Amino acid sequence: MKRMGKYLAGMLLTVFGLFALAPNAGAAEIPPSEECVATAKKLLGEYPDVENFTEEETRKADRKFVNDLADSGCISDSRPLLQKVVLKPNSEKCVTAARGAGAFWGATTKRFRPLNQRWRKQGRPLQRRINRIQRRIRQLREAGASRERLNQLVRIRRPLGRKLQRIQRDLQREARLIVKPMMHESFLVTSELIALRCMPRNLLGESDPGPAERVVRKNIDVVLFSLAYLTEATGGEVVFNLYFPTVGR
């Protein structure tokens, strides 16, 4: 959990820079049923504390979680969430699933827009100013500047850093209120898009993305915050392991 927490915190601090359908044969519902939401909550609650597990023990716990989710009919296939598979991003199922995911996330993404606007207006300029000061401190230190000169810049940077932290905390608090009620549903929607082989399990990165990945990119704030807060709320490192499989390993 310590490794996960470090990267999770970073994701939460930087993410601002960034119709219900009848199920097809062999596909889970998007958005998910109440039964599947309840199943996901139950399985997350049963996921063990893997902080002291070996890598193989952690993988075994992850496999059990995903397989149980698939056996419950809440995702179509466990394999794409556990291993690299051949993607079929433009299949008919993916086109239909992407349309459903876009409808599901769209309203929440609209609620995020004012938060992004506030970040661009308040947070980003402050972050850039702090970065400029930090670069200047580094340059002066390398040039052998006096401690007094360095401390002058540190005294300027410190209150700016506190102000930036307040802005970030306020935005994160509001984002949590928006996302928390639907974070389990969002997790299942994201998982099903991967289970259908519509996109890679690390969410982004295809040079020629299909409709599902384009929908995720369009709604990336909601998708990432949902995963982050779900991990935070449940302590279930499995969410982190599934979508960021190479981080910290």
Specify the DSSP class assigned to residue 22. Answer: P
Is residue 1 scored above 50 in pLDDT? no
pTM of the model: 0.77
Cβ count within 10 A of residue 123: 22
Asked if residue 249 is part of any domain, the answer here is no
The type of residue at 205 is G
Residue 98, domain member (yes or no): yes
Classify residue 248: in a domain, yes or no: no
Q: Comparing 18 with 46, which gets the higher pLDDT?
A: 46
17 within 8 A of 124, measured Cβ to Cβ: yes
pLDDT at 93 over 90: yes
Number of domains making up the chain:
1
Choice between 207 and 159, residue whose per-residue pLDDT is larger: 159
Q: Which domain holds residue 96?
A: 2-243
Residue 70 in any domain: the answer is yes
Give the confidence band of 51 by pLDDT, cuts at 50, 70, 90: confident
Residue 204 maps to a domain: yes
Determine contact, residues 193/77, Cβ cutoff 8 Å: no
The Cα 159–Cα 198 span in angstroms is 46
- Whether the per-residue pLDDT at 20 is higher than 70: the answer is no
pLDDT of 100 above 70: yes
pLDDT value at position 201? 79
Question: Is residue 89 over pLDDT 80?
Answer: yes
> What does the DSSP assignment read for 171-211?
HHHHHHHHHGGGHHHHHHHHHHHHHTTSS-TTS---SS--H
Q: Would you say residue 31 lies in a domain?
A: yes
In the three-class reduction of DSSP (H, G, I as helix; E, B as strand; rest coil), residue 150 is classed as helix
* Confidence class for position 246, pLDDT limits 50, 70, 90: very low
- For tokens 């062999």, name the residue: 26
Q: Are 83 and 63 in contact (CB under 8 A)?
A: no
Tell which residue, 225, 163, 160, 157, has the closest CA to residue 190: 225
Determine which of 46-50, 66-70, 139-143, 209-213 has the lowest per-residue pLDDT on average. Answer: 46-50
